[in-house]
Amino acid sequence: AQSVTQPDIHITVSEGASLELRCNYSYGATPYLFWYVQSPGQGLQLLLKYFSGDTLVQGIKGFEAEFKRSQSSFNLRKPSVHWSDAAEYFCAVGGLGGSQGNLIFGKGTKLSVKP
């Protein structure tokens, strides 16, 4: 069965430090990959997406992610974290089977930022 794994439940980084959030997926073909961010009390906002082509994709708010087929990974990175980046981050996989548009979400990684 298709699945998405975010190994880190909670990460704390210092403001200004670099960030990498991990995402691994289980799927036979190349999936459609997404990262979303959720601020407290809010809905999910799309950060970036990967469908094909260049394996390094740029998103909003200075985030980027790299698709690595050999590792079935789509890790999210940011070179310098800001306090406003504290939120929960979700990786999602789409294009699965016959369920057009349906996404499978990871369980999320909560990011805390130390001043």
CA distances from 28 to 4, 35, 72 (A): 13, 20, 10
Residue 72 C-beta: closest distance to another protein, Å: 18
> What six digits make up the tokens of 81?
């974290």
Which CB atom, from 1 or from 115, has the smaller least distance to another protein? 1
Residue 93 C-beta: closest distance to another protein, Å: 10
Residue 77 C-beta: closest distance to another protein, Å: 19
Which CB atom, from 15 or from 75, has the smaller least distance to another protein? 75
Which CB atom, from 15 or from 38, has the smaller least distance to another protein? 38
List residues binding another protein (CB under 8 A): 9, 32, 34, 36, 41-46, 49, 51, 90, 94-96, 99-103, 105-108
Residue 103 C-beta: closest distance to another protein, Å: 6
Which CB atom, from 40 or from 115, has the smaller least distance to another protein? 40
